[in-house]
Amino acid sequence: DSYKVEKNVTRKFHMVQYSRNSFDLADFDIKPCDINIEKHYNEDFQEINNLIIDSLEDKNKNGIILLHGKYGSGKTYYLRHLISKIQRKFIYFPLKLIDAINSPEFLPFISEHPNSVLILEDCESILVPRENGQNNSSSLSNLLNLGDGLLSDALNVNVICTFNASVKKIDDALLRKGRLLARYDFKELEISKAQVLANELGKNVIVERPMTLSDIYNLETIDFENKPSKSIGFKAA
């Protein structure tokens, strides 16, 4: 069963490197990440998770998976979970190389890695509508061809895109049936679920509002965000 992670077994993912007009892969270890989906995500994610797992386990099924939502809501955490559980070659494209997807060398490079899963994190810059005047036409076309084109039939490459913008701000071509395998908008964990998770983590807190996974796991961490300052000290008599 490829969806069953072996305890204490370290999996690898492959990060793209690009220099002198040439792509290469560097291998990195990732520790097992066997999370409880029901406890860490809202109820509406269960069906989507099953759909994603089924799609990635079927090497004859290719397309695009869009995971979007606010920072800290569990997108990267979920990616670790997938890499730990799915017996596929995961290729991670770092943010600084996103624009290199439009290079002539990209398609020959990815053609050398059939049946792989390409991960693009924070990639909204290449997903925006092409009519907006953005210089993303070639990059987006390459992704669309991998998701539903002649290359998709030949390579069986799945593409997972994560971003923080609204899905309304991406090109409609990405949402076409037959190309899009799954889409999910990650939000804060509902109050009841957030309370259960906080209790299990030993956090001594009463949850009164929906919270992101990042907020729950780091309740005791100092908050360095810019917020309106409060006066501290003695009032003049």
Summarize pLDDT for 86-107 with one digit per residue, the tens. Answer: 999 999 998 888 888 888 899 8
Give how far Cα 186 sits from Cα of 35, 61, 167, Å.
Answer: 16, 24, 12
* DSSP single-letter state for residue 74: S
R_g of the chain computed on alpha carbons? 20
**212: nearest Cα among 95, 76, 54:** 76
Helical packing angle, 45-57 and 75-85, nearest 10°: 40
> Do the beta carbons of residue 106 and residue 142 sit within 8 Å?
yes
Higher pLDDT pick, 71 / 224: 71
Of 73-82, 98-107, 227-236, which has the strongest mean pLDDT?
Answer: 73-82
The predicted structure's pLDDT at residue 230: 38
Paired strand residues for 13: 28
- At 236, phi and psi to the nearest 5? -65, 140
Residue 135: both structure tokens together:
């210089």
Confidence of residue 81 (pLDDT cuts 50, 70, 90): very high
Average pLDDT of 192-201? Answer: 95
How many residues are present in the chain? 237
Helix residue ranges per DSSP H, 6-149: 37-40, 45-57, 75-85, 106-110, 137-147
The DSSP-derived string for 84-99 is: HH--SEEEEE-GGGGG
pLDDT digit string, tens, across residues 135-189: 668 888 888 888 876 777 788 899 999 998 888 888 898 888 888 999 999 999 9
